[in-house]
Amino acid sequence: MKIYDVAAYPNPARVRIALAEKNATDKVEFVDVDVMGGEHRTPAFLAKNPNGAVPVLELDDGTTISECTAITEYIDHAFEGPSLGGKTAKERAVVHMMQRRMESGLLDAVGAYFHNATPGLGPDLEGDQNKAWGEKQKQTALKGMQYLNSVLADQPYVAGEQFSMADITAFAGLAFAEFAKIDIPEGLSNLAAWRKTMAARPSIAG
């Protein structure tokens, strides 16, 4: 199977971490997409993902799967190793709840700020921007960081006692925030400690 992505981008990084957690990185072929050159907007790529976003997983039978959560779900079930989505009904529900919160309240919020309130990827790719919306989403991201800090006061991982896809999303969100020059508020010691632990994890440290 193939994964169409750009290695340094936040969402592709989430999938690569998931693969590494499952020791399955060598089971896929990575295909670099020239996003800066507009390849993600070509008819050939849009046939794989109408949203024109990376990453995209293409199975051997030609099935294409986009959206990081869906791709991670496939990886989680296709390969052996620790579960990234939870095992019991309760665990799965909590993981998916926190995964969504980390997307909407952190990673996607940072993305909205980057693409609307900064030069982003440049005028040729960004199109219409809404700076006010971007600035509002920056505040959403900052609140998301504070929320995550409070969550980590009582548990070692975002969704509880086990590492999960929610941790991957949160880590990618913070990395994107750093790239977008959104500073983590001072005093979030739980978040800082968690991030340091995550950065040393083999699937992330490489």
Place of tokens 């500073």: 183
Answer whether residue 182 shows pLDDT above 90.
yes
Q: Are 73 and 131 within one domain? A: no
- Global pTM reads 0.95
pLDDT score of 123: 87
pLDDT score of 119: 94
Confidence of residue 127 (pLDDT cuts 50, 70, 90): confident
pLDDT score of 91: 97
Nearest residue to 107 via CA among 135, 136, 141: 141
- Quick check: helix, strand or coil at residue 151? helix
Q: Which structural domain, as residue segments, surrounds residue 130?
A: 89-205
pLDDT score of 128: 87
Q: Are 68 and 135 within one domain? A: no
11-15, 106-110, 122-126: least confident range = 122-126
What does the mean pLDDT of the chain come to?
96
The residues near 108 (Cβ < 8 Å, ≥ 6 apart) are 137
- Domain end residue (candidates: 31, 52, 78): 78
pLDDT score of 206: 79
pLDDT score of 68: 95
Backbone dihedral region for residue 23 (phi beyond 0: left; psi -120 to 50: alpha; all else: beta)? left
CB 42 within 8 A of CB 203: no
- Residues 55-77, mean pLDDT to the nearest whole number: 97
Q: Are 115 and 13 within one domain? A: no
Whether omega for the bond prior to residue 55 falls within 30 degrees of 0, making it cis, is: yes
Residue 188 within a domain: yes
Cα 17 to Cα 111: distance, rounded to the nearest angstrom: 19
Q: Considering the chain, what percentage of its residues have pLDDT values greater than 90?
A: 95
- Residues 124-128, mean pLDDT to the nearest whole number: 85
CB 55 within 8 A of CB 71: yes
Which CATH number fits the domain that encloses residue 27?
A: 3.40.30.10
Residue 83 within a domain: no
What are the pLDDT digits (tens) for 32-53? 999 999 999 999 999 999 999 9
Q: Are 102 and 187 within one domain? A: yes
The residues near 106 (Cβ < 8 Å, ≥ 6 apart) are 141, 144, 145, 148, 169, 170, 173, 174, 177
CB 71 within 8 A of CB 65: yes
Residue 179 within a domain: yes
Residue 62 within a domain: yes
How many domains in the chain? 2
